[in-house]
Amino acid sequence: MRLNKLLLCFFLWVNVCGCLYAQASRPKVGLALSGGGAKGVAHIGVLKVMEEVGIPVDYISGASMGSIIGGLYAIGYDAATLDSLVRSQDWMFLLTDQMEREFRSLESKQEKDRFLVSFPFSIHQQSGTSLSGFIKGQNILNKFTDLTIGYHQVSSFDSLPIPFACVAGDLRKGDEVIIKEGSLPLAMRSSMAIPGVFAPVYRDSMVLIDGGVFNNFPTDVVKKMGADVVIGIDLNTDALENPEYKSLMEIANKLIFIAGEKKYAENMKLVDLYINPELKGYGSADFNAEAIDSMIVMGERAARAKWNELVALKKRLNLPDKKDVERKTMAAPDSFWVAEVQIKGLKSYDEEWIMKQAEVTPEGYLNADELERSVRLLQGTGLFKSVGYSLTGPRNDVLVFRVQEFPEGRFDIGFNVNSEEIASLLLHARMNVKSLNSSSVDATAKISTNPWLNVDYSFHTRKMKNIGVAYRLGYTDMKLYREGRRIDNISFLGNHIEFYLNESSYRNFTYRVGVQGDFFCNASGLYTPDYRKYVPKSADRYFSTFLMLGYDSFDNLTHPASGVRLAVKDNVYGDDVFKEKSNWFNLTTFNFQAALSLSNRFCVLPEVYGSLLWGDGIPGYFQNYIGGEDSGRYFAQQQSFYGIRYAEVADNLLLGSRLTLRYRIGGKHYVSGIVNYAYNTHDFNSFSDGKSYWGGALKYSYDTLIGPVSLTFDYSNSVDKLGIYANVGYYF
């Protein structure tokens, strides 16, 4: 009996060894995935069929979108997981540099709400101007980092569950670059940096761009890795036949194919099993849900057409009949223990303050969503050109944020067209003077019928409290109305200077305190509350102390669905503080707005505001005015009012409210019904003798890449006629 058992064990051992030997000695399968932008999702359909047949993959190479699918497959994402992944993504967000407003600092919100484009520059750059692209690619890099958690420390891609290599191109040398080590997320991002669309990736001395420019079908790469059998999935054979150019990405993709045509022909000779999904009618930028679904199906259909060849390959590999391929799958943990947090790349800012902005502390657990939120919060400060992270250390418990500070300078442009001021252009330049303890100089100019220039120098403490001085020169030429009738045209030149301290440590809150001086000259006249013309002196001078508080948690400036906005400012003015006798008066303004969503389409927006002015010798410059769709067009204290197009003379005390009912009719189209009410009076003693204003509006608006486009029809008891107002772009 014992002898029989020994013989049985011997035969089993021989059989196992034989199987292991057969597995070890079988031909190795390499998978080469071409680029193609959105068409790359067709790779997933092919992988589904390969897994169904039971074809193992020993090596993977990829270019552009092929490197993304290939890199994720190499670390354990199976075809089903990849299918769910590409269907669940917000591709519009990933493939742009969008940043949700809720993550921005208050200063960053104010800048983003005015400017359309921004151009960084450096006066100390030694080797020419940095190349860039239309899209920086920060969002997609963040996504790659999230998806590769657990493999951030991999130094060689040969050590991945499936050895992997991706193709990029070096612009400086004009050479193909095979990336097999380093950061896996950055490698995938480098391989898809379509020239002119995505900014290149700077690595060591190389400027890396889309690998498809040099090798869009990298069968030679996977062959050199050790593959005996090469399966090539090609998505671009119709690139020259399709005459449609639907996007910049599509044009770039076609140029890439042309550039690498010679290399493509050579690599075709290395393919043992060729799979070419029929993707006519779809382009490189078709990331919508319907197109993704169709292209995955087309990839699966193309692979099933090669079913017999796949089965024959499996027999050639001497694999058992079972269809499931044993492979390590990706299983990212739900949360991560963070023992230590490091920030690398800081030069000008306090590390403790940056930690506070990221809302992360060591010795605690974080999940993937919290990590992503921390990265977005750091991006939202507006201080960094790029923000990334990795989990390192022996236990993957060291969270490292890598930041790249903006260069010294930035130039911004904004514009607005409306039926009141016609056209306005906003130009802004900022220069960071890091040699002077992180100070900065800002110059902003508005070119319009009411132009102004603002110059601001601020010194930034490492705790992000700013001490500064600002000067503003502005010319105001305004039409003054009384009950809808034009009564005069007034103009004056205003000079404003202030010394201030403000806080920028908080994402939604700020304060500003200081002293200021206002100097007015060349005025043609203003009106007092009793509508008597006030003719000022040749030069009026006023000095004040001020305190301003601001809070803004709106998720969107033009069409918020959640959040509140609060602004409060108090000024104590004197007409000449250097004289023994001076007229003192006080101006307090406040505004509160909220956004309350009742559904994903319907939103209610209540608002209350006021401007309270009391004291002696109050000039017309500081009187309360209402009128116009936007507050502060002519005077800082001017309040908007639907139904009164231009500025109406108000009294010393102004209280108002507004209720907006907004409905999203589809996509980014909105229809709003608005009612507003205001009451003004001379003082509290004669409060009941004031005047009431009421009005309403029907407004259509649409969010575009250049800002909101709107058309408003309004009416009020003061004007007593229908008004029309059109606007394109952000207000400033």
**Predicted confidence (pLDDT) per residue in 171-186, tens digit:** 888 889 999 998 899 9
Q: What would the mean pLDDT of 86-114 be, rounded to a whole number?
A: 81
Confidence of residue 295 (pLDDT cuts 50, 70, 90): very high
**pLDDT for residue 330:** 55
Residue located via tokens 């606007």: 727
Report the candidate in 455, 440, 456, 445 with the shortest Cα–Cα distance to residue 407. Answer: 440
**pLDDT for residue 135:** 76
661 SS3 class? strand
**pLDDT for residue 554:** 92
Range of 120-134, 236-250, 655-669 with top mean pLDDT: 655-669
**pLDDT for residue 70:** 95
Query: Percentage of residues in the chain with pLDDT exceeding 70?
Result: 84
Conformational region of residue 266, where left means phi above 0, alpha means psi within -120 to 50, and beta covers everything else:
alpha
CA angle 617, 622, 626 (to 5 degrees): 130
Between β-strands 584-597 and 562-574, what pairing exists: parallel, antiparallel or unpaired? antiparallel
**pLDDT for residue 687:** 76
Q: Please provide the average confidence, as pLDDT, over all residues in the chain.
A: 83
CA angle 143, 148, 153 (to 5 degrees): 125
**pLDDT for residue 18:** 43
In the chain, % helix, strand, coil (3-state, to 5) comes to 25, 40, 35
pLDDT in tens, 505-535: 677 888 999 999 998 886 666 655 555 555 5
Confidence of residue 333 (pLDDT cuts 50, 70, 90): low
CA angle 55, 58, 59 (to 5 degrees): 120
Residue located via tokens 């997981």: 81
Higher pLDDT, 227 or 123: 227
**pLDDT for residue 568:** 96
Tell whether the model's pLDDT for residue 263 goes beyond 70: yes
pLDDT in tens, 589-601: 999 999 999 999 9
Tell whether the model's pLDDT for residue 131 goes beyond 60: no
**pLDDT for residue 239:** 47
Q: What would the mean pLDDT of 618-627 be, rounded to a whole number?
A: 82
Question: Which residues lie across from 430 on neighbouring strands?
Answer: 410, 442
Q: What would the mean pLDDT of 691-713 be, rounded to a whole number?
A: 92
Q: What would the mean pLDDT of 38-58 be, rounded to a whole number?
A: 94
Confidence of residue 462 (pLDDT cuts 50, 70, 90): low
Confidence of residue 332 (pLDDT cuts 50, 70, 90): low
**pLDDT for residue 137:** 81
Q: What would the mean pLDDT of 216-245 be, rounded to a whole number?
A: 81
Confidence of residue 252 (pLDDT cuts 50, 70, 90): low
pLDDT in tens, 356-399: 888 888 888 888 788 888 888 888 877 788 888 888 888 888 88
**pLDDT for residue 177:** 92
Tell whether the model's pLDDT for residue 280 goes beyond 50: yes
Tally the C-alpha atoms within 13 A of residue 623's C-alpha that lie toward its C-beta.
24
Q: What would the mean pLDDT of 456-484 be, rounded to a whole number?
A: 81
Q: What would the mean pLDDT of 456-473 be, rounded to a whole number?
A: 83
Tell whether the model's pLDDT for residue 46 goes beyond 80: yes
CB neighbours of 149 closer than 8 A, spacing ≥ 6?
332, 333, 336, 368, 391
Record the pTM: 0.74
Q: Range with the lowest mean pLDDT among 256-265, 435-444, 614-623, 715-724?
A: 256-265
CA 367 to chain centre: 22
Tell whether the model's pLDDT for residue 292 goes beyond 80: yes
Exposed/middle/buried for 633, CB within 10 Å: 0-12, 13-18, 19+?
Answer: buried
**pLDDT for residue 608:** 97
pLDDT in tens, 65-99: 999 999 999 999 999 999 999 999 988 888 877 77
Q: What would the mean pLDDT of 101-117 be, rounded to a whole number?
A: 78
Question: Which residues lie across from 594 on neighbouring strands?
Answer: 564
